[in-house]
Amino acid sequence: QELQALLGNAKHLVLRSLYGEANHVEPRFLVRGGLVFVPLTADFLEQAWPNAQDRPSHLMDLFFRGVVDPTKKEVVVVLSILSDDVNAGHGSGYVGCPIVDSIGGEPVVDLPHCAELFNRAQAEEEFVQIEVSMSVGPYSLVLKSADLPEADA
């Protein structure tokens, strides 16, 4: 008996290798209002926390159980916060890699969509509201739209 099966592309929400078949890739990130947004990848997890036991549970849950679908192509996290008046009160430096759930009330699909939502909220709203999930639960970051151009300069 012979078994035939058509194999499709991997559907991991957290990419298993940043490099794929290439030897080099440009890093992907977005800095807005001092917040550094990056996509979550296996390579990032391995570099940030070489000891697997130290990796944040909220990120590892997505690594093991997250699946790509039309509403979520990749996980975006806040890598760190660069201290500025516009983000005062939200901490600075490493803040636990919260997962970016939504900006302006709209769910984030991937890093380019994150940039699009941030720009739209900044242009249309008095405040940019970013909803995130941390290992300790949900959190809201609120940035005054009028102060963002100076922070991003």
The pLDDT, as a whole number, for residue 126 is: 98
78/121 Cα distance (integer angstroms): 17
Residue 38 has pLDDT above 80, yes or no: yes
Residue 15 clears pLDDT 60, i.e. is over it:
yes
What is the pLDDT at residue 124? Answer: 97
Residue 49's φ and ψ, nearest 5 degrees, are: -135, 85
Q: Under a CB-based contact definition with an 8 Å cutoff, are residues 83 and 92 in contact? A: yes
Q: What is the pLDDT of residue 21?
A: 55
Taking only the tens place, the pLDDT of each residue in 59-115 is: 999 999 999 998 999 999 999 999 999 999 998 888 899 999 999 999 999 999 999
Q: pLDDT at position 22, please?
A: 57
Cα 113 from Cα 75, distance rounded (Å): 11
For residue 67, what are the contacts with CB-CB under 8 A and spacing of at least 6?
11, 12, 13
Q: What is the pLDDT of residue 110?
A: 97
Place of tokens 């992907």: 28
CA distances from 121 to 6, 8, 125 (A): 43, 37, 5
